[in-house]
């Protein structure tokens, strides 16, 4: 290796409420070396996701919190630059949890996934529509909620990276799809470009009233990324045997006090319905199935998607805010180095 | 028929909050006659259940509200006194929704179920452990939550008609069972007589603290009849793949303002867990399976139960209060006439 340095961004302190600059710390250290059975990967692209906010808390969750003083966790696409592992060659592109840094050592356990070369698709797609984002939409909608033709599916954060794909998959499945988003241009995009049947701007419209109009047959499936009032409103409008897929709760991640739960949860009883949470990492064994199916839909033009690419690892902390203040459209990705 | 009268208790007005005497009205009318295909049944016993409180509201639910001016709805065991239906003979005992009255006409649709004669069991058992109550416990626990040997099952209203059977079935299935009840003698009963592993008095003890002690391996299954703070506390202590069976929410039935929902619902995501409501009437096709299995357990002495029998139809309105003020133990039944 040359005397190159490894820039990395650490968790300096756990945020209370909104993320602040002081929660992060940057440093440059020598590039690590690949030990026996390991590979060294140069990270090219970093995925920024709402879930990262949860990992910054010292809370019992589905994954260990990021340690204070540790490198920020995140999914990455990178290129192998040194390999002591038989199945990986220099030049291979891989997807893994490379973190907020220029270089990552992987292995011998938890090796990253090799990505197919020569597909013609931009590498960023493996962090968006063909990555965890697309897979979250795929399994969270189809495995948890299993929508049937003619059913009404409501999606929150509908113009977001996950929500926009959820809605399009629901359309492919023959459902009536209503999206909730936070800006008129987002609402226009999901209806005009993505084919949603209706969209509601929760910032300017009365969500309950608009949902009643947009869902004349009430709601069979709700894919929730926000929690809070909207979840509660939807619970008040579900049909018998409705399925609510809990993917996230943006309204809670930065909260400093408990957010009220859905007081309408008892419709789960009166409507014999189910509210189920999921974590996409549990579907690892079926990722290939999801990627194959989504690729096919992509090639058939049945799924469209957008990426919001921020240049420079050093801009990752600031870019995180975009996930919570409604300013990003499409999958948020940080470009660390040229592919 | 003789010039006998049919006493009946009507819903005079919809209650706001707690039930009041003025919500009921009594009247005596001529005994109705059985038309073509119908039967006339003399009601012997009336089941009083928390669900009736819900039917008194003008709310969208799993069943039509009781009409103002209509006869109060309720499950009954009765005896056929006149029959124009080929499968029913005078003297047959039947279970059906006979309502709060001396006589009911059934049919030709929605005929009541004939009960087996000569079992030696009191007829009241078909309103309690072998009735909707026992079936609610059976399907709500086994079908919705499917507890596995070694798992920890928590039950609220554990000394109640449903909860006490839920806990005993969970013990039969090899689970660790923790009950939550509202009086020391109830707690003593479920542990000493019913074999629960532990009991918590939510009125005098710190539920969160006691649950942590009583559930060293956390909670896999929760059978909920109360909602409110206890549901929220349990959600904060669930294991991965936990199942929460929503049977009812006593804390909500008399509420005049929305009861806060469970702010911890997001553990459904982090723990990939499910919260599912059910209505026992959906299992009608499988009632015989449930009754057979529970009878067997009863005969083997594996299930014990108590009945709280109030004498006289005229006392039904007052008796309803016992379901909400914690003073009844065992299944609440009103005796209308001698068997």
Are the Cβ atoms of A272 and B277 closer than 8 angstroms?
Answer: yes
Does residue A301 lie within any of the structural domains?
A: no
Asked if the interface predicted TM-score (ipTM) of this complex is over 0.90, the answer is no
Does residue B296 lie within any of the structural domains?
A: no
Q: What is the C-alpha separation between A251 and A244, in angstroms, rounded?
A: 17
Are the Cβ atoms of B277 and A262 closer than 8 angstroms?
Answer: no
Contact B290, B135 (CB under 8 A): yes
What burial class does residue B22 get, using C-beta atoms within 10 Å of its C-beta: 0-12 exposed, 13-18 middle, 19+ buried?
A: exposed
What pLDDT score does B283 carry? Answer: 92
How close B213 gets to chain A, by Cα (Å)? 18
Residue A252, domain extent: 132-280
Cβ neighbours of B228 (radius 10 Å): 18
Average pLDDT over residues B216-238: 96
Average pLDDT over residues A105-114: 92
pLDDT at B308 over 60: yes
Does residue B65 lie within any of the structural domains?
A: yes
Cβ neighbours of B3 (radius 10 Å): 6
Tokens of B296: 């067997």
Tokens of A163: 């929500």
Average pLDDT over residues B52-66: 88
pLDDT at A85 over 60: yes
Minimum Cα–Cα distance from B280: chain A residue = A272
Nearest to A286 by CA among A108, A138, A127, A125: A138
Contact B245, B278 (CB under 8 A): yes
Cβ neighbours of A256 (radius 10 Å): 9
Does residue B293 lie within any of the structural domains?
A: no
How close B328 gets to chain A, by Cα (Å)? 24
Minimum Cα–Cα distance from A249: chain B residue = B266
Tokens of A70: 């540790």
Percent of chain A with pLDDT over 70: 99
Which residue did the predictor score with more confidence, A61 or A139? A139
Same structural domain for residues B232 and B319?
A: no
Q: Which of B248, B252, B274 has its CB closest to that of A274?
A: B274
DSSP A178-211: EEEESSHHHHHIIIIIT--SEEEETTTS-HHHHH
Does residue A288 lie within any of the structural domains?
A: no
Least trusted range by pLDDT, from A2-11, A128-137, B27-36? A2-11
Tokens of B121: 């069991």
Same structural domain for residues B95 and B144?
A: no
Percent of chain A with pLDDT over 90: 82
pLDDT at A1 over 60: no
Same structural domain for residues A159 and A67?
A: no
- Cα within 13 Å of Cα(A309), Cβ side: 16
Q: What is the domain-level CATH number for residue B240?
A: 3.40.50.720
Asked, as a colleague might, if the bond just before A108 is cis with ω within 30 of 0, I would say: yes
Minimum Cα–Cα distance from A243: chain B residue = B276
Same structural domain for residues A145 and A275?
A: yes
Nearest to A317 by CA among A14, A20, A2, A50: A20
Residues in B closer than 8 angstroms to A219, CB to CB, are none
Same structural domain for residues B54 and B181?
A: no
Same structural domain for residues B201 and B150?
A: yes
Does residue A152 lie within any of the structural domains?
A: yes
Average pLDDT over residues A65-80: 97
pLDDT at B34 over 60: yes
3-state secondary structure of A121: coil
Same structural domain for residues B156 and B271?
A: yes
Same structural domain for residues A54 and A194?
A: no
Are the Cβ atoms of A275 and B278 closer than 8 angstroms?
Answer: no
Q: What is the C-alpha separation between A195 and B19, in angstroms, rounded?
A: 50
Same structural domain for residues A182 and A245?
A: yes
CB pairs under 8 A between A and B: 112
pLDDT at A177 over 50: yes
Q: Which of A263, A268, A278 has its CB closest to that of B272?
A: A278
Beta strands in B73-194 (DSSP E): 76-83, 93-96, 103-106, 113-114, 152-155, 176-181
Average pLDDT over residues B9-17: 95
Are the Cβ atoms of B279 and A269 closer than 8 angstroms?
Answer: yes
Residue from A49, A65, A223, A246 whose CB has the most chain B CBs within 10 Å, to mutate = A246
Are the Cβ atoms of A263 and B261 closer than 8 angstroms?
Answer: yes
Residues in B closer than 8 angstroms to A60, CB to CB, are 270
Residue A181 pairs in a beta bridge with: A201
Q: Which of B252, B270, B277 has its CB closest to that of A271?
A: B277
Percent of chain B with pLDDT over 90: 82
Q: What is the domain-level CATH number for residue A67?
A: 3.90.180.10
- Starting at the edge strand found earlier in the chain, the sheet holding B198-201 runs A198-201, A176-181, A152-155, A219-224, A238-246, A274-277, B274-277, B238-246, B219-224, B152-155, B176-181, B198-201
Among B residues 240-269, those touching chain A with beta carbons less than 8 Å apart: 240, 246-249, 252, 258-269
B148–chain A Cβ distance below 8 A for any pair: no
Same structural domain for residues B157 and B276?
A: yes
Same structural domain for residues A263 and A323?
A: no
Nearest to A19 by CA among A46, A55, A44: A55
Q: What is the C-alpha separation between B242 and A126, in angstroms, rounded?
A: 32
How close A247 gets to chain B, by Cα (Å)? 7
B334–chain A Cβ distance below 8 A for any pair: no
Cβ neighbours of B160 (radius 10 Å): 30
Does residue A285 lie within any of the structural domains?
A: no
Are the Cβ atoms of B277 and A273 closer than 8 angstroms?
Answer: yes
pLDDT at A202 over 70: yes
Rg (CA), chain A: 20
- Tens of pLDDT, residue by residue over B169-209, are 999 999 999 999 999 999 999 999 999 999 999 999 999 99
Tokens of A37: 């059975």
Same structural domain for residues A162 and A205?
A: yes
Tokens of B229: 């703070």
Does residue B289 lie within any of the structural domains?
A: no
Q: Residue A298: phi, psi to the nearest 5?
A: -60, -50
Nearest to B116 by CA among B335, B283, B295, B280: B295
Domain boundary among B233, B265, B280: B280
Minimum Cα–Cα distance from B278: chain A residue = A272
Are the Cβ atoms of A249 and B264 closer than 8 angstroms?
Answer: no
Contact B24, B295 (CB under 8 A): no
Residues in A closer than 8 angstroms to B212, CB to CB, are none
Q: How many domains does chain B have?
A: 2
Are the Cβ atoms of A261 and B262 closer than 8 angstroms?
Answer: yes
Q: Which of B252, B263, B277 has its CB closest to that of A258?
A: B263
Which residue did the predictor score with more confidence, B60 or B68? B68
- Tens of pLDDT, residue by residue over B124-175, are 999 999 999 999 999 999 999 999 999 999 999 999 999 999 999 999 999 9
Q: Which residue has the tokens 């928390």?
A: B50
A317–chain B Cβ distance below 8 A for any pair: no
């Amino acid at each position: 290796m040359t005397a190159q340095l490894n820039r990395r961004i650490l968790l300096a302190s756990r945020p209370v409420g909104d993320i602040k600059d002081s929660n992060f710390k940057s440093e440059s250290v020598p590039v690590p070396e690949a030990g026996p059975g390991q590979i060294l990967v140069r990270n090219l692209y970093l995925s920024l996701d709402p879930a990262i906010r949860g990992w910054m808390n010292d809370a019992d969750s589905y994954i260990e919190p990021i340690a204070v003083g540790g490198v920020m966790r995140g999914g990455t696409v990178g290129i192998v630059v040194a390999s002591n592992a038989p199945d990986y060659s220099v030049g291979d592109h891989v997807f893994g949890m490379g973190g907020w840094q220029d270089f990552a050592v992987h292995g011998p356990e938890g090796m990253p996934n090799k990505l197919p070369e020569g597909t013609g698709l931009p590498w960023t797609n493996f962090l968006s529509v063909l990555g965890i984002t697309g897979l979250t939409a795929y399994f969270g909608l189809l495995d948890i909620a299993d929508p049937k033709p003619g059913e009404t599916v409501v999606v929150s954060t509908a113009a977001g990276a996950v929500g926009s794909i959820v809605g399009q998959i629901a359309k492919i499945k023959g459902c009536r799809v209503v999206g909730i988003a936070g800006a008129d241009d987002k609402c226009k995009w999901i209806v005009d470009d993505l084919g949603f049947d209706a969209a509601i701007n929760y910032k300017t419209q009365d969500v309950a009233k608009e949902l009643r109009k947009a869902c004349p047959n009430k709601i069979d499936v709700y894919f929730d990324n926000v929690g809070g009032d909207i979840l509660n409103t939807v619970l008040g409008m579900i049909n018998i045997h409705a399925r609510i897929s809990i993917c996230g709760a943006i309204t809670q991640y930065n909260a400093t006090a408990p957010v009220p739960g859905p007081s309408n949860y008892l419709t789960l009883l009166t409507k014999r319905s189910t509210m189920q949470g999921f974590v996409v990492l549990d579907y690892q064994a079926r990722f290939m199935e999801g990627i194959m199916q989504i690729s096919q839909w992509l090639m058939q033009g049945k799924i469209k998607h957008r990426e919001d690419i921020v240049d420079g690892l050093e801009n990752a902390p600031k870019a995180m805010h975009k996930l919570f203040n409604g300013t990003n459209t499409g999958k948020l990705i940080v470009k660390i180095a040229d592919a």
